[in-house]
């Protein structure tokens, strides 16, 4: 299952979003760089990307 997770675009996308969110929580990097509305939009687009990846996922992690 771990090997399947490492091949998953959805897993990597969520890791990327988690890093962005943690940067924002720890030191407001996104807000400082882009402003609060753009920072919120970046995370919103990230969430929508997550939904899009989920809709195209056809294979279970255990099968990868």
- Alpha-carbon distance of 61 to 11, in angstroms, equals 10
- Alpha-carbon distance of 56 to 10, in angstroms, equals 10
pLDDT at residue 45 in the model:
92
Q: Residue range 32-50: average pLDDT?
A: 90
Which residue would you say has higher pLDDT here, 1 or 41? 41
- Alpha-carbon distance of 44 to 15, in angstroms, equals 15
Asked if 61 and 4 touch (Cβ cutoff 8 Å), the reply is: yes
Q: Where are the domains of the chain?
A: 2-63
User: In the predicted model, what is the mean pLDDT of the chain?
Assistant: 86
pLDDT at residue 6 in the model:
82
pLDDT at residue 5 in the model:
77
Q: How far is CA 28 from CA 21, 41, 46, 48, 49, in A?
A: 9, 14, 17, 22, 22
The predicted-structure confidence for 19-28, as pLDDT tens digits, reads as follows: 888 888 888 8
């Amino acid at each position: 299952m771990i090997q399947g997770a490492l091949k998953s675009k959805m897993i990597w996308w969520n890791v990327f979003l988690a890093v962005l969110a943690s940067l924002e929580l720890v030191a407001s990097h996104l807000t400082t760089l882009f402003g609060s509305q753009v920072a919120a939009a970046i995370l919103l687009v990230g969430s929508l990307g997550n939904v899009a990846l989920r809709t195209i996922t056809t294979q279970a992690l255990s099968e990868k």
